[in-house]
Amino acid sequence: MQRTLIKNIDRLIGAYPAPPPLLRGKALQELPELRNAWLLIEDGRVADFGVAAENPPPRADEEIHAGGGSVLPAWVDSHTHLVFAAWREGEFVQRIQGRSYEEIARAGGGILNSAARLREMPEEQLFEQALQRLEEVRSMGTGAIEIKSGYGLSLEGELKMLRVIRHLKEVSEAPVKATFLGAHALPAAYRDRREAYIRLIIDEMLPRIADENLADYVDVFCERVAFSVSEMEEILEAFAKCGLKPKVHVNQFNAMGGVEAAVRHGAVSVDHLEVMSEQDLKILAKANTIATILPSAPFFLNDPYPPAREMVDRGLALALATDYNPGSSPSGRMAFSVSLACIKCGLLPAEALQAATVNGAHALELGAECGALARGMRADLIITKPIPSTGFLPYAFGSNWVDRVLLGA
C-alpha cells in the first residue's frame, strides 16, 4: 500500500466527514475549511485528514510539503465538447464584426462547420488532439470530466466521436463520462426532412451505441436553431428504453418548455439556463434534476448570464461547468468559470467552488467518488500557491494560483 502525506496545508478546503450529498440553498455556502492541516492518501484515495495541532500527522512512505499553500478538491467539469477537429476563431472575428452566433449557425457555420471538419479528420488524429486538451485541463486542476459527441451528425461521424471518447476513458485515470449528442444540429442534407434525421438517430445510431456501450448519457440541443421540445422528447423516450438518462442543452437563447420536459424525463441535469422563465425556476426548485450553468459561453458570446443568484436563493441544485468547445466556449479553464459565476452571476466564492466540485460530481453521478475530500473518495486535488483566503481563488481571475495537481496520487 502506498501512503502519501500532504503536510503544512494552510487551508484544507472541501474536506468532509463523508461524501457530501447534492447541495442546495444555504448548504452551498457551507464549504468546510481546516487551518494548518494534513491529508493522508492511501493508494490514491483519501485515508484521513486532520489539524496538526490536535492530531499529529501520521507517518507515510512519501511526504509532500504544501509549503503553506492550500488544498482543494479537483474540479469536476460536467459539460464539455472537447473532442473536435478545429478551432473556429474565424467565426469569433465575424461576431466581433456584428454577426450573431445564431445567424452564423443558420448560414451553415457553427456546429455544421465543426461537423464538416470532423468528417475529414482520421479517428487517430482526433484522438491525439482531444488527449492533448484533456491533459491541458488536467494540468489546470480538472479531475473528472464529461465529454459529448455531436460534431459527427451522421452514423459514422457520431460513432467515430464516441469511440474517441471511449479511447480517452481507457487511457485516462480520471473518470470520463460520455454523452451522445447526435441531436446537436440538423445536417444540411436533412433540411427539409427533419423527421428523417430523428429516425436516423433512433433507428440507426441508438442500436449501435447501445450494443457497443458507447454512451453514459443522451443529450439534445433543445433550441429554436436546433431541435424542438417534442423532438427532444421523442429522442429521450427512445434512449430511456436502453437505460440512457438525459443531460440536455436547454434555455441557452430561448425558454421553450425544455426544462419541464427534461425534468419529466428524469434528466440528471439541464444545462445552460441563460434564459429562465418563472415556471422553469419553480420546477427546478422541486426537482432532483441539477441546474448546470456554463458562464464562459455567455461571456464569450456576449449574452446575458444565467440568473444563478436567484437560482441558488430559490433552492435549485446548481452545478458549474466550462462547456469547452470551439464555438461558444474555447476554454476548459474551470477556475475562470468559477470567477465568472462570482463576478457576473452573484455567487459567493464558497457557492461557486461547491458548484464546480461537489455538485459537478453529482451531475455525473459520481458524488461518492469525487468532488470532495472525504475518507474513501478519490484523492484528486489541487495544491495552491500560498493564498490569503478562499475568496482569493475566484478574485484572482487572471492568476495561475495552481501550484500542483494530484490526481489519484
Contacting positions for Fe ion (CB under 5 A)? 323
Q: Binding to ligand NIG by residue 327, rule CB under 6 A?
A: yes
Q: Binding to ligand NIG by residue 337, rule CB under 6 A?
A: no
72-91 binders of ligand NIG (CB under 6 A): 81
From CA 51, how far away is CA 148, in angstroms rounded? 41
What string of H, E and C letters represents the secondary structure of 104-159? HHHCCCHHHHHHHHHHHCCHHHHHHHHHHHHHHHHHCCEEEEEEECCCCCCHHHHH
Q: Quick one: CA dihedral 309, 311, 316, 320, positive or negative?
A: negative
From CA 150, how far away is CA 190, in angstroms rounded? 16
Check if the beta carbon of residue 337 is closer than 8 Å to that of residue 298.
no
In whole angstroms, the minimum distance from the beta carbon of 114 to ligand NIG comes to: 5
In whole angstroms, the minimum distance from the beta carbon of 46 to ligand NIG comes to: 33
138 binds, among Fe ion, ligand NIG, none (CB under 5 to 8 A by kind): none
221 binds, among ligand NIG, Fe ion, none (CB under 5 to 8 A by kind): ligand NIG
> Which of these ranges, 254-262, 305-313, 322-330, 381-389, lies near ligand NIG under the rule CB under 6 A?
322-330
In whole angstroms, the minimum distance from the beta carbon of 302 to ligand NIG comes to: 13
In whole angstroms, the minimum distance from the beta carbon of 179 to ligand NIG comes to: 11
In whole angstroms, the minimum distance from the beta carbon of 398 to Fe ion comes to: 24
- Pick the closer one to ligand NIG by CB: 265 or 272: 272
Selected binder of ligand NIG within 23, 28, 40, 111 (CB under 6 A):
111
In whole angstroms, the minimum distance from the beta carbon of 335 to ligand NIG comes to: 19
> Which of these ranges, 107-115, 124-132, 206-214, 302-310, lies near ligand NIG under the rule CB under 6 A?
107-115
In the block, which residue shows the cell 487551518? Answer: 35
User: Angle at which helices 110-120 and 155-171 pack, to 10 degrees?
Assistant: 70
In sequence order, the 6+-apart residues with CB closer than 8 A to the CB of 274 are 251, 252, 253, 297, 298, 303, 304, 305, 306
> Which of these ranges, 6-14, 206-214, 277-285, 321-329, lies near ligand NIG under the rule CB under 6 A?
321-329
In the block, which residue shows the cell 474565424? Answer: 90
Mark 239-278 with x for binding to ligand NIG (rule: CB under 6 A) and - for no binding: ----------x--x--------------------------
From CA 271, how far away is CA 250, in angstroms rounded? 6
Residue 302: exposed, middle, or buried by beta-carbon count in 10 A (0-12, 13-18, 19+)?
Answer: exposed
Q: Binding to ligand NIG by residue 328, rule CB under 6 A?
A: yes
Q: Quick one: CA dihedral 128, 130, 134, 139, positive or negative?
A: positive
- Pick the closer one to Fe ion by CB: 11 or 79: 79
Q: Binding to ligand NIG by residue 292, rule CB under 6 A?
A: no
**Residues engaged in binding ligand NIG (CB under 6 A):** 81, 110-111, 114, 221, 249, 252, 297, 323, 325-328
